[in-house]
Structure 1
Amino acid sequence: MSDESSVEDGAATRATGEPRDQVWTVPNLISTVRIVLIVVFVVLLAGRHDGWAIAALIGAGVSDFLDGYLARRWDQVTRLGRILDPAADRLLTLAVVIGLAARGVIPWWLTAVLLTRDAVVGVALLVARARGAESSQVTLVGKAATFGLYVFLPWAYIAFLAEWPIAWTVFFVGTLAATVLYWVSGVGYVVDLVNRSRATVPPAGA
C-alpha cells in the first residue's frame, strides 16, 4: 500500500470518528493513573490522612479531564479508552461517595441516589454489550456532572473538617445541581445504548 493511500485511510478513519485499536496511548495511561489514585485515595481516607486524601482526589479529578482532552487533541481516541475512561469515573465516584458517607461527611441517601444512577447505566451497558453494541461516548453533560461532583464532594470534605456552616450550604446547592445533571446524563446514556442495541439487531426475515 502506498504512503498516499495510507494517509487517505487515516484521514477517513478520523473523519468517521471511529476509535482506534491502540492500547498504549498517553490518554489511556492517564486513565490508568486515575485508577491508581483511586486506590491511594481510599487508603488515605481510611487512614484519616485527610490532607493527602484530598490531594489524591484532586489529582484524579484533573486526570479525568486531561485524558479526554488529549485523546481528542492528539487523535488518540481508542476502543480501550472508551471503556477505561468511564470505568475509572465510575470507580472514583463509588470510592468517593461510599468513603465520605462512611466517614459521616455526606448522607447515605445521597450515596444511594448517585449509585443507583450508576447501576442503571451499568445494566444498560451490559445488555448493550451482550448484543454487540459499542459503548456510548462520554457526553458534555456527563462531563459537567462529573466535574461538579469532583468539585463539591471534596468541598464537603473540607467543610466537614473545618466545621464551616456556609460551606455546607455551598456543598448542598452545588451537589444537588451536579446530581441532577448526573441523572440527566445517565438517562441520555441509556437511551443511546438502547438505540445502539436496536441498530445491531438484524431486521426480521433478514
Structure 2
Amino acid sequence: MDLFIKDLNVQVENLPLPILSIPYLHIPARSQVAILGPSGCGKTTLLNTISGLINIQARQLLWGNTDLTQLSAAKRDIWRFTHIGIVLQEFYLTSGLSALENVLLPYSFTHWRISNNIKQRAKMLLEQMGFTRFHSPAERLSRGEMQRIAIARALLLKPNIILADEPTASLDLQNAKIIAQLLPQLSQQEQCTLIVTTHDLNLAEHFPRQIYLANGQIEREEALC
C-alpha cells in the first residue's frame, strides 16, 4: 500500500515550532527509502508517526485508504501488528530463549499454537541470512546475529511494510555491511515497502531513494538510477 502524507505537523507541548513538518510526501508500495539526517532532525519521530505511535490530525497521513487516526487504539495496534514489521537499533531479544523462539515470540502472544508452517518460515528466513543455529540462546549471540534474529522476527508474518530505525548503528563495520545488503534484498524478495532511518552512508547507498531531513523538514531528496 502507498503512503501519503499531506500537511503533516507533529507538535510537542511547550515547543514553539513543530518537531516534524512535511507538506507532502508519497512513498509508493514496495519502495525502498532511506531517511537521513543529523541526530534530532526528526527521523525517529517520522517512523513513529507513520506507524501510528504518535497522534496526529485526521487526513494528514494515509496508508492506502486507511487513516490510522480514525481507528481506536486497539484497532490501530491490530493494524500495526498485521501490516508493519519493525527493526530497531536495540534488538530486544529475550534472554533464556533460543534464536528461533525469539523470532516466534510476538506470534505466540496472539496464537495459542504455533503451526509448523510458521516455524518453517522462521527457519527459512534465518537460513536466508546465513544463520542456522536455531537453538542457540539469545544471550550467546553476537550483535550481528542478534540483528538477523530481529529482522527475521519483523518479516515473519509477511508484513506490507518494514520500518527499521538505525538498524546498523550498533554493529561493527563487517556486520553493518552484511545487514546493509540483506535488508533491501529481503524487502525485494518479500515484496514489501522498506523505510529505514540511518546515519550510515554505506547502508543508504543500497537504497534507490534517499530523503534528507533537517530540523523536522525535508531538506532534499535523491534518487539513484
Indicate the structure whose relative CO is greater, using CA pairs within 8 Å and at least 6 residues apart.
2
Scaled by the length of structure 1, what TM-score is found? 0.27
Instruction: Point out the structure with the larger strand share.
Output: 2
Instruction: Point out the structure with the larger helix share.
Output: 1
Larger radius of gyration: 1
